[in-house]
């Protein structure tokens, strides 16, 4: 079956602009996670959804970052007033309820110039 | 809180040699442990996981790992390296909470 998909695969934006990154989880997966992977580092947790609600947003670095999942499926990560330090690969993962194995998408590479 | 330390950001082995990638963790609760592999410009693929039960777990592509509670370790091994094993490997722990905490990664290079 289809895995986790993320769009766009690459995004280049200017400092100060607003961006949206989209994640389509595996069908039937109720849990959805966003991670950020900076160059040469491991992924870092941003936010976790169970269904439509953000169950844990403790990893969001500041209030410029926001994520939604209005219908419990597709999720959008939104970054306002982008900064060069936001440049990274943003990874999305999903899992079945009660399962701990997370399936990752290919990521969106965000470059802020 | 939980954390993961991967010793050695780069490991180089010859084709056919033993692969050993080290991972130590800390967790305030009994951990679930994972190894993921990342090929260039691709997402993370799960190699193997430890949740409960047998402490020696086998994964895909001939990899295995052993959970040692007394050493807080979960090292990844493969008896004989293949050129196709060259990639970045990440150890991760799920402690309290549902998120994964990852180590910094180890880049495995395989020499012909």
pLDDT, tens digit, 9 for 90 and up, residues B24-50: 999 888 889 999 999 987 889 999 999
B36 touches chain A (CB under 8 A): yes
Task: For residue B5, give the chain A residue with the closest CA.
Answer: A42
d(CA B43, CA A107): 6
Which pLDDT band, with edges at 50, 70 and 90, does B95 fall under?
confident
- Report CB contact under 8 Å: A101, B97: no
Range with the poorest average pLDDT among A99-103, B39-43, B100-104: B39-43
Rounded to 5, what percent of chain A is helix, strand, coil? 5, 50, 50
Which of B56, B46, B66 lies closest to A93, judged by CA? B46
Residue B70, min C-alpha distance to chain A (Å): 23
**Residues of B in Cβ contact (< 8 Å) with A40:** 104-105
Calculate the dihedral angle through the C-alpha atoms of B103, A43, A47, A99, rounding to the nearest 10 degrees.
Answer: -70
Q: In what order do the strands lie in the sheet with A5-7?
A: A5-7, A19-24, A75-79, A65-68
A102 chain-B contacts, CB cut-off 8 A: 46, 100
Per-residue pLDDT at B97 exceeds 80 = no
Flag whether pLDDT at A33 surpasses 90: yes
Whether A39 shows a pLDDT value over 80: the answer reads yes
| Chain B residues with CB-CB distance to A48 below 8 A | 97-99
pLDDT of residue A26: 96
Whether residue B64 contacts residue B15, with contact meaning beta carbons closer than 8 Å, is answered with no
Which residue among A33, A35, A42 sits closest to B104, beta carbon to beta carbon? A42
How many angstroms separate the Cα of A9 from the Cα of each of A53, A104, A108, B99?
25, 14, 5, 23
Q: Residue A38's CB: how many other CB atoms inside 10 A?
A: 13
Position B87 pLDDT exceeds 70: yes
DSSP secondary structure code for residue A58 in this structure: T
CA distance B19 to B66: 14
Comparing CA positions, the residue from B90, B88, B89, B81 lying closest to residue B110 is B81
Please tell me the predicted confidence (pLDDT) of residue B1: 81
Chain A residues lying within 8 Å of B99, measured CB to CB: 33, 45, 48, 56, 59
Chain B nearest-CA distance from A50, in A, is 10
Model confidence band, residue A1 (pLDDT cutoffs 50, 70, 90):
low
Q: Cα dist. A98→A30, A95, B4, B62, B75 in Å?
A: 9, 8, 23, 28, 26
Q: Strands B10-14, B106-111: parallel, antiparallel or unpaired by DSSP?
A: parallel
Stretch B51-79: mean pLDDT, rounded? 94
- Chains A and B form CB pairs within 8 A to the count of 58
User: What is the per-residue pLDDT across A47-83, written as a single tens digit (0 to 9) for each?
Assistant: 999 989 888 999 999 999 999 999 989 999 999 999 9
pLDDT(B96) > 80: no
């Amino acid at each position: 079956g289809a895995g986790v998909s993320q769009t766009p695969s690459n995004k280049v934006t200017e400092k100060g602009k607003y961006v949206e990154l989209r994640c389509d989880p595996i069908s039937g997966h109720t849990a959805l996670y966003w991670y950020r992977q900076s160059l040469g580092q491991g992924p870092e947790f941003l936010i976790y959804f169970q269904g439509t609600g953000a169950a844990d947003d403790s990893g969001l670095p500041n209030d410029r970052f926001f994520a939604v999942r209005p219908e419990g499926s597709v999720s959008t990560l939104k970054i306002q007033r982008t900064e060069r330090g936001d440049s990274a690969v943003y990874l999305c993962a999903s899992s079945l309820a009660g399962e701990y194995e997370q399936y990752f998408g290919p990521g969106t590479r965000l470059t802020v110039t | 809180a939980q954390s993961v330390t991967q010793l050695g950001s780069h490991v180089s082995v010859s084709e056919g040699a033993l692969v050993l990638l080290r991972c130590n963790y800390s967790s305030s609760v009994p951990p679930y442990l994972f190894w993921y592999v990342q090929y260039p410009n691709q997402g993370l693929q799960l190699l193997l996981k430890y949740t409960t039960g047998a402490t020696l777990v086998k994964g895909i592509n001939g990899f295995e790992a052993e959970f040692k509670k007394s050493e807080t370790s979960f090292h990844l091994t493969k008896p004989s390296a293949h050129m196709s094993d060259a990639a970045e490997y990440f150890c991760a722990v799920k402690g309290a909470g549902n998120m994964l905490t990852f180590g910094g990664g180890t880049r495995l290079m395989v020499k012909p």
